Structure 1
Amino acid sequence: MDEPQSSLKPARPPPPQRPPQPTMSAGQIPVEILPLQPHEIRWFYKEPGRFWVPFNGYDSLMLEERYQTLRIGHQDFFSKSVLTPVRGELYDANVLERNGISVYWKGSTIKLLRGEWFEVISDKWYPIEEDEAQQIEAGHCSTAWRLKYNKDVGLDMQISGSPSLAMRNVARHKITVSKHEVVWFNDMDVRWFKTSDYSSKVMNFVGRKLMGKDETYGSKHLRRGYWDICRQTDCLPPIKHVVFVIHGIGQCMEGADICKSTNELRDTCEKVAQRQFSDQWKQGRVECIPVEWRTGLHLDNGMVDSLTLPNVRTLRNILNTSVLDVMYYLSPTYGPEILDGLATKINHQYKLFMDRQPEYIDNGGVFSIAAHSLGSVIIYDILSLHKTDVCDAPLEDEGRHQLLQELQEAKTRVLELEAALSKRSFVPNKLSFQLEHLFILGSPLGMFLALRDVEEHVYRHHKSAQSLLPASICKRIYNVHHPSDPIAYRLEPLVNSAYEKVKPVKIDRCNAGPSDTAHELACGPRKEAEMEPPQKKGGWLSYLPSLAKGSIAVSETVVNASAVNSMDKKMLKDDSTLLPKDKLYERLDYQLQEGTISSSYFNSFTAHTSYWSDTDVAMFMLLQFYSYQPSAPPMGP
C-alpha cells in the first residue's frame, strides 16, 4: 500500500516556543505582542474573477517557510528556488511576486495573499489585503495605548474590584486604514468601520446618537491569525491515476477552453470521490491534465480565413473554427500534422509530469486518457499506429494474419507519401507511456471507422467479440455518450452486428451510487475467460484485438445471435435483458440516463459539451479506476 503523501514530504522542525509573558493583573493585556507563528498564518489564492480561497495547511506552511527564507536571506529573485509547487503541483507559486503560474497549461495565473488579519462576517473569515493588514498590525502592536489601557484597568480594579462594563465599550486606539477606521476596544476586540462613503457615516451617526447605540454600532470584527491552524497532515492524497484530457473541435472558438473543462472534470471527480470512494481517494487521488493541441498548429496559415466571404461573417467564423477542424483532419495535407501535434503534446505533458513525479510509475501510478469528440478519433488513430509484436485476438489462419500486417504497413506508407507530397515530414509518433484506460466522450469514432471501407469489412468479418485496441496498448476502452448527443455514435455493432439491437449499458446515477452490475462490469471478464489457452502471437494491426468469446459477469439470458437479430428493438428494454450467444468479454458502449421530464431535442443543444461537469460521468470513471471496492456492504434498495 502506498504511503500517505504527508509522510513523503520533507520533515519540518517543530514551531519555536513563545517566550513566557510577564505576569499581568486581571483584565490587563500584554504590552509586547509577539509575531504570528507560521501555523497561525494562512496563505490564500485567487483565480481571475473569483474570491480568495485558502491553501491547505501543508501548502500554506511551505509558502510561509519559503517567504521567511527569502525575506531573511538574499536568494536570487529569478532563481527557481523562489518557486513553490502548490495545489497538487498544478501551479508554481512565487511568494515574492505574489502569483502562481500553471504548470501544464499557458495563460493561467493565480494571485497570492499572505493572511494575517481577517474580517469575520457570519462566521466566515475574509483575509485583509496585505498593505492594510500591515498597518493594522502596526497599530495592534503599539505599546502606548496598551500601557494606558492597563493603567485604566488598574485604577478601575482599585475602585470597584473588577473591570467595569463601561470600559469594555470605550475605544482605546484608533487608526485610519484605506477606507476604514480601525478601533481597538481591548486586545481581543478589534473592529473596523467603513468611512469611505457618506451613507456609512450617516448610518453610524444615526445608530450611535439617535438610537442610543454604543461605538461598536455598524462595525465588523477583525481577528489576528487564521481560525484553523496549519497542519502538515492537511494535504492532498498522493496521485495514483493521471488522466490526460483531450479536446475535440472548436478549441479556437471564443469561450472554448479545455483547461477550464479539465478543471471542471477534476473538481467533479474530487466531489464525487469524497462521497462515493472516500477510502480509495485517500490512498490515491485522480489528477486531470489538459492536452491543448489545436491552437499550436499553423495548418493553412490563415488561407481559409482569407477565402471566407464577408457576408454573415459571424456564422462563417463559427464554422471555420469548429467544423473546419474535421476537414483539416481528413485532409491528406494537414491530417499527419494534427496526428503528430497531438502525440507530441501528450508526450510533452507526460514528461512534465514525470519530471515532477519521478517515482510515480514505481509507486504503482497509471495513465489514462479522456478524449472528447474529434479528439477521440485522433487519439485512436495515434494508438493504432503503435507497433507491437503481441496480439491477444484469435487469428483464423496465418494467411489472414499476414494480410493484416501488410494492410497496416500500407496505411503507414500512405501517410508518409501524403506528407511527402505536401512537403511535410511525417514519422508516426507513438506515446511514451503505457495506457490503462481510454474514455471517449461524445465520440464519432464509430462513424469514422464505419466509413473507412477496409476497416468495416474487417470488423464485420469478426462477429465474435473483439476489441478495437489490443490490451498491450490499452487495457480498456469506454464509449461514453449522452443519448441526445448528436455527435456520438456506438462502437459495439461495429464489432459484433448482433449488438445492433442490444442497448448500451446504462451508467448509474451518482446520487444512487454504483450498482452491483456496474461493479461487475468494471472488474472485467470472468476468470474462465482469462484462463483460455493463449493464442498464437503475431501482428495486431487489424485494429481488432483483445476481447474474444466469453461472458459478462452479470445475470442475463443467453440467446442465439440470430434470435436477437430477429427481435424488435423495443423488446430489449436495457443492456442486461438479452445478449447474443457470441458475447463480448467487456462492454464498450455506456450511456448516460436522461431525466424523466427532459426533452431529447432540447438536451441535444447542450449534451455534447456536458460531460466535464456531469457527476454520473465522474462516478463512472472513478469506478473504473478503483474497481469499486466498497468499505461497507451495499445497502438494500
Structure 2
Amino acid sequence: MQYPTPGDNFPDYTSSDWEGRSSDAADTSNDSNLGFGIDLDNSGVTFKITSDGPTDNRDEDMPAKPLQRPKPPRPPPPRKPRLDPSSSKMEKVSDLVVQKVRWLYREEKKWVPFIGYDSCQMEWKYRQAKQQLKQNEEGMDVDIETVAVRGGLYEVDVVRRKCHAIYWSDDTVDVMRGTWFYSSGTEPIEEGMANDIEKEHLDLFSRDDPPEPPPQPTKGTQKAMHELCFKDCHVDWYSKDAVYFYSNSTSSRIARSIGNTLGFSKASTSGYKLMRGYPSPASLDDKPPPISHLVFVVHGVGYVTDKKAIIKNCSDLRKSATKAIGKHLPDLISPASTHRVEFLPVEWRSSLRLDNGMVSAITPHKVKGLRIVLNSTGMDVLYYSSPLYRSEIIQCVQAEVNNLYERFRQRNEGFEPNGGKVSIFSHSLGSVIMYDIITGWNPIHLYDQYLSHEQSPHPDLSAMSPDHHDLVEELHQARIRVSSLEKQLLATNQIAAAINRPKLNFKVENYFCVGSPLAVFLALRGVRPQGNGSISHIIPKAVCSRLFNLYYPSDPVAYRLEPLILRHYSTICPLQIHRFEGKQVPYHTLKTTALPVALKTSEEMKGIQESDAETSEERTSPGSSTSSSPQHLPKGQTGAFTGMKAWFSKTSEKSPELEALEDMERAILRIENMADTNEKVEEDEMESVELEHRVDFELKESNLGSSYLSALTSHTSYWTATDVGLFVVSQLFPDYAYSE
C-alpha cells in the first residue's frame, strides 16, 4: 500500500464550498440528495442512499420505511499545508558543526569511530589546515601538526589521513572524516562520495529560498526533487530530511522494478536512507583520564622473525586489563577518575644482529623448519649466557626502555609532577634481562667480588710451575692490597653509588615476572635463602617496591621464587589467582596452605630400607620374583618401571639388566630420602618465619585433560588470559579493586 508522503497533494477546497452550511447537526436542508446514513436496524454501521425530496413523492405501494436520523455534516478534508516564507528560512541548512562530524580509523576491515574528544581535536585541526591551504597561494604543502589520539598511543595526520603509532613502528592505519552515514547504523559513506553529497545538499538547502518537495502521485513511483549520479550508484533527495542511496547493480534494479509493479516505494525495495552527521554528537567530556601508571611490556624468546608479535601481545594484555577494569574496577573509568594505566611494548630482539648470521650458516638443511624454530627461541638463552653477547643484549634493552620513557615523559609533562608510577611486565627470558638491568647485576663484578672476599689464589694460577710461584705470590698480595683500597672507597659510598644506582631512569613500582625462569638463574648464581622473609637480598626495595611471580603450573619454563627467600615455602602452596568471574578479595587476607604431603614418613622409609635388605638376600635364590614389583616407588613412576621390568623379564627370568634396574630404584629412593631429610631439618629451623609479601601466584590450569598438552600452550597463554589482566590492574590500583 502506498502511504502518502509529506509532499503528497490533497484536493484544495475553497471556503465557498462550505458557505451556507448550517452548524446545526439536525439541519439537512443544504445536504445533497446522496449522503451517508446510519442503519439503526442492524448492529453494524452501513452506508444508505437517502433521498432529500418530499416524502409524499414516494411510491404508495412500497411499505413505509422507518425514519432515519439526519447525518452529521461531513468534516472538511485536510488542507494542503502552506509553507510560510519565514518557515522556509528556518529550514535553511548550514555547514556541519564540529560535534556532528566524526572521524574514524580502519581496524580489521571495519571503520571504528574515535572518541568524542579525539574527533573534535581532529576536526579543528582539519579546518585549520584547510584554511591554511586556502591562504597558501603557491599551493605548497603546509606543515600541520599531528593530533595525539587513542589514549596518547597514536597520532593522526589529518591532511594525509594516516594514523601512526607513537611508541612502536610498523603500525599505520587509514583514517577518514565521516559526514554522511547510513541511518541503519554507524557505517560511513566513503569520504569522496560524502563530500559530493554534502556539496549538493548545501547547494539545495542553504539558499534563502530552498526548493519545495515536488507533488507526489497517489500511485506509482515517487518523484525525487534532486538526483546525484555516481559510477555504480545514485542518491535521490525527496526532502531535506529524506535522502536515499541506491545501487545501480543488476539485482538492485530488478528489485526496484518488481517493487514498483507491486506498488512498493523505491526506497523500501533497494534504497538506504542516509543521515547527515554522526548519530551521537562528539563531546569534549568524552575523554580518558590522564595516565597515572605506566607499564612496560618486555618479551622473551622467539621474537626474531616477527617483531609485530609483541605489539599484538601487548594489545591483548591491554584489552584484558580494560575488560577487567570495566567489570571489577568501574570507578577507574568514571568521569571523576584521575587514574589510568597504559601498556607500552618493548621490542628489543629484531634490532640485534649478534652473530651476524653465523648460526644460520652452520645450521644443516635437514628438518630445517624445526631448526629455525629452535634457533629463534632456544638460541636466545645461549646468547644471553654468552659473555660475548650478554652485554649487547643488556645495553639494547636498557636503551630501548629509557628511550620509550623519555618519549613518554615529553608527551605527558604532568606524569612525574603528579606522582606517576612505572611498573614492568616481563615474560620468559625478558624477566631475567630486566632483573639484571634493574639490579645492575654483572657476572664480571660478581667474580671480582668473589675473589676479593675469598682472597685466595686465582684457580687458574694454582697449576703454575715452581718457577713462577714468586709471581703468583706477588699477584696474590696485590689483590689483597686492591681489596683493602676498595673497602676504603666503599666507606665513602663512591663505588656504592656507581654500582648500585638504578640503570633505568625511573624507579620500578611493581615487577611482574610471567612464565619466568628467573629463579633458576638466581639459584645458579648462588642466591640462597636469608631467612628474614624480605625480598631485599633478591631485589633491593630501593629500586623495586613489589615483586610478583605469575605462572601456570604446567609451564615448563616457569619456576618458583619464594623458596629462594624462605626455604620452607617450598612446602607451601602459592596463592591462587582469582578467576575473572569469581569473588575478588585482597590477597593478603588469604591463608597459606601446605602442599599435599607426598613424602614418606620415617616409619615408611624404615620399612623400605628393611625391604631393600630382604630383597638383596632374595636375589641370591634363583627363580625369586619378589623384587620385580616396585611397591615403594612414588606415584607416577611405578608404571614406568613396571613396564620396563616386564619387558626385560621376557628374555630371562633374572637378567643383569633387571638387577641393574632394581639397583637404580633403590638408589632413587635413597636420594629422595636424603633430600627430604635435609629439607625437613631446614624447614624446622625457619618454619616460624613468614614472608613480608607473597611472591608466587599460580594461575588455574587450562581445561586440557593432559598436563603435557597444557605444557605446549601454557607458556604463551598469558597475554590473552583475563585472569592475568585482572591480577595486574588489581595490584596497580588496590584501592579501587577492593573498595567496598
Structure 1 length-normalised TM: 0.74
Q: 1:120 to 1:496 in 2, by over 3 A?
A: same
Are the aligned partners of 1:250 and 1:256 in contact in 2 as well (CA < 8 Å)? no
1:50 aligned onto 2:109: yes
Match for 1:138 among 199, 224, 231?
A: 199
1:369 aligned onto 2:421: no
Are the aligned partners of 1:168 and 1:185 in contact in 2 as well (CA < 8 Å)? no
Match for 2:175 among 103, 109, 112?
A: 112
Identical residues among aligned pairs (%): 33
**3-state SS of 2:200 partner:** helix
**How far apart are 1:187 and its partner, in Å?**
1.2
Report the AA paired with residue 171 of structure 2. Answer: S
Report the AA paired with residue 288 of structure 1. Answer: F
Report the AA paired with residue 146 of structure 2. Answer: L
**How far apart are 1:112 and its partner, in Å?**
1.1
**How far apart are 1:309 and its partner, in Å?**
1.4
Residue 392 of structure 1 is matched in structure 2 by: none
Residue 162 of structure 2 is matched in structure 1 by: 99
CA deviations 1:362-391 (Å, max 9, x no partner) are 10110000000110011111122179xxxx
Match for 2:725 among 609, 618, 628?
A: 618
| Distance in 1 (alpha carbons) for counterparts of 2:172 and 2:313 | 16
Are the aligned partners of 1:28 and 1:150 in contact in 2 as well (CA < 8 Å)? no
Report the AA paired with residue 214 of structure 1. Answer: S
| Distance in 2 (alpha carbons) for counterparts of 1:239 and 1:369 | 15
| 1:149-548 aligned within 5 A | 150-151=211-212, 169-195=222-248, 197-209=249-261, 211-216=262-267, 217-254=269-306, 257-281=309-333, 282-385=337-440, 403=453, 430-452=503-525, 454-455=526-527, 459-460=528-529, 462-467=530-535, 468-516=538-586, 518=587, 521=588
Report the AA paired with residue 69 of structure 1. Answer: Q
| Distance in 2 (alpha carbons) for counterparts of 1:474 and 1:136 | 59
Are the aligned partners of 2:119 and 2:282 in contact in 1 as well (CA < 8 Å)? yes
**How far apart are 1:589 and its partner, in Å?**
0.5
Residue 391 of structure 1 is matched in structure 2 by: none
Q: 1:231 to 1:31 in 2, by over 3 A?
A: closer
Residue 586 of structure 1 is matched in structure 2 by: 693
Q: 1:565 to 1:37 in 2, by over 3 A?
A: farther
Q: 1:310 to 1:386 in 2, by over 3 A?
A: closer
**How far apart are 1:62 and its partner, in Å?**
0.7
| Distance in 1 (alpha carbons) for counterparts of 2:104 and 2:394 | 40
Residue 37 of structure 1 is matched in structure 2 by: 97
| 1:124-135 aligned within 5 A | 124-135=185-196
| Distance in 1 (alpha carbons) for counterparts of 2:209 and 2:226 | 10
**How far apart are 1:25 and its partner, in Å?**
6.3
**3-state SS of 2:227 partner:** strand
| Distance in 2 (alpha carbons) for counterparts of 1:428 and 1:151 | 79
**How far apart are 1:554 and its partner, in Å?**
4.6
Report the AA paired with residue 263 of structure 2. Answer: G
| Distance in 2 (alpha carbons) for counterparts of 1:471 and 1:486 | 29
**How far apart are 1:358 and its partner, in Å?**
2.1
Report the AA paired with residue 272 of structure 2. Answer: K
**How far apart are 1:599 and its partner, in Å?**
4.2
| Distance in 2 (alpha carbons) for counterparts of 1:404 and 1:379 | 29
CA deviations 1:463-518 (Å, max 9, x no partner) are 342312111010001001122222111111222221111111100011124224x2
Structure 1 regions of 5+ residues with no counterpart?
Answer: 1-22, 157-162, 388-398, 414-425, 522-552, 571-578
Report the AA paired with residue 352 of structure 2. Answer: L
CA deviations 1:48-99 (Å, max 9, x no partner) are x331111111111111111111110258987774211111111121100000
Report the AA paired with residue 245 of structure 2. Answer: W
**How far apart are 1:42 and its partner, in Å?**
0.6
Are the aligned partners of 2:205 and 2:240 in contact in 1 as well (CA < 8 Å)? no
CA deviations 1:7-63 (Å, max 9, x no partner) are xxxxxxxxxxxxxxxx8469969674311011110111114x331111111111111
Structure 2 regions of 5+ residues with no counterpart?
Answer: 1-82, 443-448, 456-478, 487-498, 605-633, 636-685
Report the AA paired with residue 115 of structure 2. Answer: N
| Distance in 2 (alpha carbons) for counterparts of 1:239 and 1:101 | 20
**How far apart are 1:207 and its partner, in Å?**
2.8
Are the aligned partners of 1:343 and 1:429 in contact in 2 as well (CA < 8 Å)? no
**How far apart are 1:431 and its partner, in Å?**
0.5
| Distance in 1 (alpha carbons) for counterparts of 2:368 and 2:361 | 12
**3-state SS of 2:103 partner:** strand
**3-state SS of 1:604 partner:** helix
Residue 85 of structure 1 is matched in structure 2 by: 148
Residue 393 of structure 1 is matched in structure 2 by: none
- In terms of mean alpha carbon deviation, does 359-368 or 620-629 score higher? 620-629
Q: Which has the higher contact order (CA 8 A, sep 6+)?
A: 1
Residue 5 of structure 1 is matched in structure 2 by: none
Report the AA paired with residue 140 of structure 1. Answer: H
Q: 1:427 to 1:511 in 2, by over 3 A?
A: closer
**How far apart are 1:555 and its partner, in Å?**
4.9
Q: 1:329 to 1:558 in 2, by over 3 A?
A: closer
Report the AA paired with residue 358 of structure 1. Answer: E
**How far apart are 1:602 and its partner, in Å?**
2.9
**How far apart are 1:226 and its partner, in Å?**
0.5
**3-state SS of 1:511 partner:** coil
Q: 1:558 to 1:43 in 2, by over 3 A?
A: closer
**3-state SS of 2:109 partner:** coil
**3-state SS of 1:289 partner:** strand
**How far apart are 1:630 and its partner, in Å?**
5.5
Q: 1:565 to 1:257 in 2, by over 3 A?
A: farther
Structure 2 length-normalised TM: 0.64
Q: 1:432 to 1:564 in 2, by over 3 A?
A: farther
**How far apart are 1:334 and its partner, in Å?**
0.5
| Distance in 1 (alpha carbons) for counterparts of 2:557 and 2:288 | 37
Q: 1:601 to 1:221 in 2, by over 3 A?
A: farther
Q: 1:566 to 1:443 in 2, by over 3 A?
A: farther
Are the aligned partners of 1:237 and 1:283 in contact in 2 as well (CA < 8 Å)? yes
**3-state SS of 2:163 partner:** strand
Are the aligned partners of 1:175 and 1:181 in contact in 2 as well (CA < 8 Å)? yes
CA deviations 1:502-558 (Å, max 9, x no partner) are 111100011124224x2xx2xxxxxxxxxxxxxxxxxxxxxxxxxxxxxxx555689
